[in-house]
Structure 1
Amino acid sequence: MALPSLPDSAVVIAADAPDWRAAVLRAGDALSASGSTRDGYGDEMVRMIEEHGPYAVIAPGLVLAHARPDESVLQDGLAVVTLAEPVPFGHPHNDPVSVVLGLAVESVGGHLESIADLANVFNDSTVIPALAAATSADEVRRLMGMTA
């Protein structure tokens, strides 16, 4: 399975978020707007971080927010939210976060494959700051090697 597509509705540039919960909810809203999830998936992503800690902050400045596959996931989807001001998630090494990825997958196997595919994008350490500075959905897609 390749990465899901990234329609304009799943990209939010320079979002205002006063804290990490708001940042994750913005990614949830973008997943919902793109038709990948029902409303409420963002709340599940927040709950996962509240329950398990800032494990989802996978690299300096980058969080991969996700929740378990359930009935709120309509199709595999990815959202990219860049923040106007970085926010701390409580991670000892990778805070503050300026790029929020929201991931929704229909199956557990797809979940693991999607995470592996995303990790490959970020092997290049210049991608995160470039995403944080992106000014359009097209630029985000180009940086991630994706299509609309």
Structure 2
Amino acid sequence: MKFLEKYLVEFDVDVSSPEEAIRAAGKLLAEKGLVEGNYVEAMVQSYHKNGPYFVLAPQIALPHARPEDGVKEASVSFLRLTNPIVFGSAANDPVKLIFALGASSSNEHIEILQKLMTLLSNQDNVKKLMEITSYYELEQILGGIKL
């Protein structure tokens, strides 16, 4: 499992739509061969079909698609947007933190979500994610929690 590795993290990404945000986060997974290119488009299509159900908390989105859409290895990328984007979630818009998920089985999906929830359930961690400027700082946050 590749969970927020250095090459899967980008800060201050400038996008102007939910689709661009999803594609930017998915591209990090696709460029490393963790998902197929069509998986990224499947995430966008899932958003179009099902709405912003993956905007799970204030300012946080976890876009994903089905394993059969092209997941090669369980993985999570992270983008922090320069400017928050409205996804259409009345409760949790606008979104600034995007974690793109790729899981090839239900068990992996659950394991990834548990790791993310451990990270994001602490408001101090979320606040830090909004402010950090380097991967080193992200490592400090991840090192401080039991994943």
Cα deviation digits, residues 40-83 of structure 1 (max 9, x gap): 22211111121111110011110011111125211111100000
* More displaced 10-residue stretch of structure 1: 93-102 or 134-143: 134-143
Q: Determine the structure 1 residue equivalent to 2:3.
A: 5
Number of residue pairs the alignment of both structures matches: 144
Q: Does 1 or 2 have the higher relative contact order (CA < 8 Å, sep 6+)?
A: 1
Q: What value does the CA root-mean-square deviation take over the aligned residues? A: 1.7
Distance 1:72 1:14, change over 3 A: same
Q: Is 1:99 the equivalent of 2:97? A: yes
* TM-score of the superposed pair, with normalisation by structure 2: 0.89
SS at match of 1:95: coil
For structure 2, the 5+ residue unaligned runs are none
Q: Determine the structure 1 residue equivalent to 2:122.
A: 124
Q: Determine the structure 2 residue equivalent to 1:21.
A: 19
The answer to whether the 8 A contact 2:35-2:102 is kept is yes
Q: Is 1:85 the equivalent of 2:104? A: no
Q: Is 1:66 the equivalent of 2:48? A: no
Q: Determine the structure 2 residue equivalent to 1:35.
A: 33
Q: % of aligned pairs identical?
A: 28
SS at match of 2:2: coil
Deviation at 1:143, TM superposition (A): 2.3
Cα deviation digits, residues 13-33 of structure 1 (max 9, x gap): 100110111011111001112
* TM-score of the superposed pair, with normalisation by structure 1: 0.88
Structure with greater helix share of residues = 2
Structure 1 stretches of at least 4 aligned residues deviating more than 3 Å after TM superposition: none
